[in-house]
Structure 1
Amino acid sequence: MLKTETPAQNHAQLDQYPTVDLVNVFADDQINAVGAVRAAAPHIAAAVEAALPRMEGGGRLIYAGAGTSGRLGVLDSVELYPTFSWPHERAVALLAGGASAMYVAVEGAEDDAQQGAADVRSVNVGKDDVVLLIAASGATPYVLGALREARAAGALTIGFANNADAPVAAEAEIGIILDTGSEVISGSTRLKAGTSQKIALNTFSSALMVRLNKVYGNLMVDFKATNAKLVRRAVRLTIFATGADEAAARAMLEQCGFHVKVAIVALSKNVSVEQAKALLESARGSVRRALGA
């Protein structure tokens, strides 16, 4: 039996626990998700390094999964644009059962390997793309179909699973095993298995964006200020990075469309917006290199 399906022996009387104990058991078990990701860190790092040249070459991140795993892939994909200005068309999520499965479970969709392959073909996966295959069991037919089609197309494949020797990890070019063991509620991989997937995907994509110069120091400097909260954030980050006062920071941001990267370089180097953009372009988007630091 898969570890993720094995009943947890230490919680056989779960339904009789006092509510406060019930809550503590669920919370405490999540700690194992962090441990599983830490154990997989070398493989996640290898995935980042392998994905980097493909992203620099114009490739896309493509997520494929079913159920909870697929929804977590969707979540990671949609968060990349507001956080890092990563283009929508370069973060594609394939979910068994289609877009409606984000809200309502589509029974049986995960069992269709042919549909997984068809979905990969439908987005014209190519050699510059990186396909992330996510499955707690590691053997979901939809995900395996997507994996095999992606490999045939020459894409880099990265498999995430929560069971050792999982086909999704074994058949992908880079396999990431998140060994979270049995769940407090037997087989409910929306618990710590899902948490570990969320952490691993977040870690992978965030580290990749750092390598793509979307971050300066530990500051989020490449986002779209599309609402009042983000405008305030842009001003704060510009002040923090440059030491400029609020009026100067806001004035420069208004000149460059609230692009924090450009404002930092322009204020720090005392150059025009156009000159700052040119410096960033020559530095491949790195604020640090544009500043000569």
Structure 2
Amino acid sequence: MQKVKTELKSELAQGIDTLDSAQALEALLGGQINAVNALQSCIPAIIKAAKAATSSIRSGGNLCYVGAGSSGLMALSDSLEISGTFGVSMSQIKILFAGAPDTLVDMRGGAEDDTDLAKTDVKDTNLKAGDCAILVSASGNTPYTVSAQHELKQLGVTTIAIANNNPSELLNNADIAIHLDTPPEVIAGSTRLGAGTAQKIALNMISTLMGIELGHIHDGLMVNLKADNAKLVERSLSMVKDIAQCDLSTAKNTLQQAKGNVKLAVLLAAGAQNEHAAERMLIEHGGVLRRCLEEIRSDENINA
């Protein structure tokens, strides 16, 4: 039986155990860089994935991440960052990680073969048609992840597959397939290396483009973040000052008035009549701050 690509040995690995530390690290870095290059051809599929995720979240639906082992950790990491970065409610974000929570303490591999567990986990999420799921597997054939995909498709959930081997069951059965054509690993089969790096980047690209599409990014700033620590409060003040072009005192006052909501604070500092008017603009413009600011400037020009 022919091995899948992620199980093959990289040419960079030849004699790696005889190299000095710097040379060994150069080989490892080369493997990572080669893996990153695989992302370029995936951009069209990543755009489709981000738009599917955006549609689900915007309509009040759910975005579910599915994975096992190293690939599951990449999925878990992205899922946990979405709420803090983009202000999306965690009630809309689901994660199916094979064998969790036990496997998050001891990463034994048995859970990734448990297809019955996948079926149970999917059932417990109460996902439905209109929801979206991102399934990640380096081989593309991980039993837990493939079984979860089958169950999700039965429910009418849009499935996005990210895999490093093609053909593979996960990619073949996906609504949106993202094939990360990464080279063999410097440590054969250790997909936490190049394959994992490429997966992490692909997931970052999907969720960040989703954040942009939802109107939660303005000029590279996270204008829908949840300021739940001192660092983020300072970041919120800085964003209000920067976008509304106001002084620190105004930023503090409007942020307090908006109860920490950066978008509302920006609009108040930029000239919105009151909170109600700012909220109305955000609703009318789909949460996109730039369009709201354009409306304020247009009104100012008319009244000038």
TM-score (norm 1): 0.96
SS in 2 for 1:47: helix
Counterpart in the other structure of 2:114: 112
Counterpart in the other structure of 2:188: 186
Counterpart in the other structure of 1:225: 227
- AA of the residue aligned to 2:195: A
- AA of the residue aligned to 2:72: G
- AA of the residue aligned to 2:122: V
Displacement, 1:192? 0.7
Aligned partner of 2:198 among 174, 196, 214: 196
Q: Point out the more displaced range, 107-116 or 127-136.
A: 107-116
Counterpart in the other structure of 1:128: 130
Aligned partner of 2:207 among 194, 205, 208: 205
Q: State how far apart, in whole Å, the 2-side matches of 1:194 and 1:107 are.
A: 16
Residues 56-71 of structure 1: matches in 2 within 5 Å? 56-71=58-73
Q: State how far apart, in whole Å, the 1-side matches of 2:16 and 2:260 are.
A: 52
Q: Point out the more displaced range, 153-162 or 96-105.
A: 96-105
Residues 66-215 of structure 1: matches in 2 within 5 Å? 66-215=68-217
RMSD (Å) for aligned C-alpha atoms: 1.3
Say whether the 8 Å CA contact 1:117–1:147 is kept in structure 2: no
Counterpart in the other structure of 1:14: 16
Say whether the 8 Å CA contact 1:256–1:262 is kept in structure 2: yes
Deviations 1:19-73 (A, max 9, x none): 0111122122211232111221111111122333222211111011100111111
Q: State how far apart, in whole Å, the 1-side matches of 2:20 and 2:187 are.
A: 16
Q: State how far apart, in whole Å, the 2-side matches of 1:108 and 1:18 are.
A: 35
- AA of the residue aligned to 2:135: L
- AA of the residue aligned to 2:130: D
List structure 1 segments (4+ residues) > 4 angstroms apart after TM superposition.
none
Name stretches of at least 5 consecutive residues in structure 1 with no aligned partner: none
Tell me how many residue pairs correspond in the alignment: 293
Q: 1:107 to 1:30 in 2, by over 3 A?
A: closer
SS in 2 for 1:30: helix
SS in 1 for 2:294: coil
Q: State how far apart, in whole Å, the 2-side matches of 1:198 and 1:102 are.
A: 18
Say whether the 8 Å CA contact 1:238–1:263 is kept in structure 2: yes
Deviations 1:48-106 (A, max 9, x none): 22333222211111011100111111111110111111111111111111222123113
Aligned partner of 1:268 among 267, 270, 275: 270
Displacement, 1:275? 2.0
SS in 2 for 1:133: strand
Q: State how far apart, in whole Å, the 1-side matches of 2:117 and 2:272 are.
A: 55
Say whether the 8 Å CA contact 1:55–1:128 is kept in structure 2: no
Say whether the 8 Å CA contact 1:47–1:204 is kept in structure 2: yes
Deviations 1:2-22 (A, max 9, x none): 111001134221111100111
Residues 245-264 of structure 1: matches in 2 within 5 Å? 245-264=247-266
Counterpart in the other structure of 2:50: 48
Q: State how far apart, in whole Å, the 2-side matches of 1:153 and 1:65 are.
A: 18
- AA of the residue aligned to 1:63: Y
TM-score (norm 2): 0.93
Q: State how far apart, in whole Å, the 2-side matches of 1:156 and 1:235 are.
A: 38
Q: Point out the more displaced range, 248-257 or 135-144.
A: 248-257
Q: State how far apart, in whole Å, the 2-side matches of 1:178 and 1:125 are.
A: 27
